[in-house]
């Protein structure tokens, strides 16, 4: 893609404008099957928890296969997103390859 998000020296985290409660990382657009592991790594990095010791498995929160299917089939322009809560963090994954992790609970739907 030629962007800085492909920098091999980066841990995948991006600056979020000084908001310490938000972490933004990426998943590989050509390999949507990497989305679940990228989500777990992002949440574990934000919470300081070992990925294998997460308080709840990703599949207890969301169907990982459905997440892969939905985002992997999107147009790749950020117009498709999925937001859910994992380990007390609000996670948003978009079809353009970004994962945003923010402390706190998802808002109750109105």
Does residue 104 come out as left (phi exceeding 0), alpha (psi in the -120 to 50 range) or beta?
A: left
Instruction: Give the pTM.
Output: 0.77
Instruction: For residue 71, count CB atoms less than 10 angstroms from its CB and return exposed for 0-12, middle for 13-18, buried for 19 or more.
Output: buried
What integer pLDDT is reported at residue 23 of this predicted model? Answer: 86
What's the pLDDT tens digit per position in 32-70? 999 999 999 999 999 999 999 999 999 999 999 999 999
Does 10 have pLDDT greater than 50?
Answer: no
């Amino acid at each position: 893609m030629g962007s800085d998000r492909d920098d091999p020296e980066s841990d995948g985290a991006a600056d979020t404008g000084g908001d310490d409660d938000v972490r933004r990382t990426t998943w590989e657009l050509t390999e949507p099957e990497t989305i679940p592991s990228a989500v777990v790594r992002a949440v574990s990095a934000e919470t300081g928890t070992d990925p294998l010791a997460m308080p709840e498995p990703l599949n207890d929160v969301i169907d990982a296969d459905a997440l892969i299917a939905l985002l992997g089939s999107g147009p790749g322009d950020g117009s498709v997103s999925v937001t859910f809560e994992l380990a007390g963090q609000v996670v948003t994954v978009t079809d353009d390859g970004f994962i945003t992790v923010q402390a706190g609970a998802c808002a109750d739907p109105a």
